[in-house]
A and B are shown apart, each in its own frame.
Chain A
Amino acid sequence: MAEITFSKAELERYSRHLIIPEFNIEGQRKLKAAKVLVVGTGGLGAPLIQYLSAAGVGTIGIVDFDVVDDSNLQRQVLFATADVGRPKVEVAKERIEAQNPFIQIKTYNTQLTSENALEIIKDYDVVADGTDNFPTRYLVNDACVLLDKVNVYASIFRFDGQVSVFNHLHEDGSRGPNYRDLFPSPPPPGLVPSCAEGGVIGVLPGIIGSLQANEVLKVITGIGEPLSGRMFIFDALSFETRTLNLRKDDNNPLNGKNPSQTKLIDYEMFCGIGQESEEEKKVKEITVKELKAWQTENRDFQLVDVREGYEYDIANLGGELIPLAKVAEEVNKISSDKEVVIHCRSGKRSADAIHLLEEKYGFKNLYNLKGGILAYADEIDHSLAKY
């Protein structure tokens, strides 16, 4: 580490680290020499990048294929209103370079996939996973285990957060538990909502992403006890916190007793994505343009909205509100003697409602609004708020 040196400006900038006895200039040298890859520049990625760069991590890679969206601004305080529509990695790089000119930022304006993950991750020492979907969670985990990288993990949902350090290198050369020891199989698509589907309280990614950044700094510098073999869980609503002890699963396909997986796989397929869309296709559909035509010609049909009341208050098409969970109970409100168009936000819940109504109650007059109210806002009525 002796070859890592600092300018006067750097010494002054990092002085609050340098005067912590167990951190000191040795810790700062390790940070400057370190390469950290942050996957995802969302709720968790934004605070991660901000704190890691301010702390002086020498090289930070950031991977994201998305652009800044209005709905990001409630929690991703790295971005400003004027950034909406710009690539996230580009904006992040700009902000970080303005905050700390002494570090290197490398951007990957792409989606992390089974094809590029090993190539991108191999050059880094530590990976921080702030992605927002199960296929990428398993992809990041598996790539880190295959490449012997530490994966500092966090995830959030509504008021709940989880943090752990996976695949940490122990002194005896063994590795700590990883994501697959904890969750061997992914849940089916749609059952566990993402932040986009289920919502998240704005300050939560700030709390959890900061804890994640702190674990990254500990892994790099070797100070303290990283959250390896443990998982921290936080419920912001009740302020319940737990730190649970994990253990390795002998059946882990990557590094259990009989490893069966030696390379990356198709994670979309592993998570069942695309396999249920056939079922969705089985219901009759109409497009938002067709719906608009029906409305314009005053056709006699019923429009049913199976979202929740609080979603209806954000934007609605004037349909009759029957939340999905109440459809069976209020089945008598749904006409059987004329055409009925059922819609939700994106078309998923309304397809579920139609399946239920067709299979259990024998309806034959139901049409799913393709793309839901989101498609209607995009193609027909731009004044509707998208959420």
Chain B
Amino acid sequence: MELQVIMFGIARDIVGDSKLKLELDEGASVGALKKHLIDGYPEMGRLKSISFAVNTEYVDDNYQLSDKEEIIIIPPVSGG
């Protein structure tokens, strides 16, 4: 299935775009998406705490994704 992931903060710098389209197996989990992103963008793995929200709900690694949902990556931000 094709997924679209919306990036905020430093994730956008790492990926080089505010939106990323990618192809994952049907029913793939957030954990699988995370692994896919880290394989493509090793800096993503260094972030340690990347949070994912699906349709405005924070979800954990076990959550099963579908292509109808909006997926957002929220990395930590420290500036003030």
Contact = CB atoms under 8 A, between A and B. Distances in A.
B8 A160 contact: yes
Interface in B33-80: 43, 46-49, 51, 53, 56-58, 72, 74-80
Given A186-B49, A187-B46, A188-B48, A134 B76 contact: yes
B8 A187 contact: no
A44 B80 contact: yes
Chain A interface bracket (under 10, 10 to 19, 20 to 34, 35 or more): 35 or more
A184 interface: yes
Given A44-B80, A137-B78, A162-B77, A244 B47 contact: no
A13 to B, nearest CB: 29
Contact of B72 (A43, A130, A192, A244): A244
Contacts of A131: 78, 80
A188 B42 CA distance: 13
Nearest to A184: B49
Contacts of A129: 80
Interface in B3-31: 6, 8-10, 18
B47 A155 contact: no
Contacts, number: 102
A193 B10 CA distance: 8
A235 B8 contact: yes
Interface in A27-49: 40, 42-45
Given A187-B10, A244-B74, 19 more contacts: A40-B80, A132-B78, A154-B80, A157-B77, A160-B77, A161-B77, A182-B49, A182-B51, A183-B51, A184-B49, A185-B48, A188-B48, A198-B79, A242-B53, A242-B56, A244-B56, A245-B53, A246-B58, A247-B58
Interface of B: 6, 8-10, 18, 43, 46-49, 51, 53, 56-58, 72, 74-80
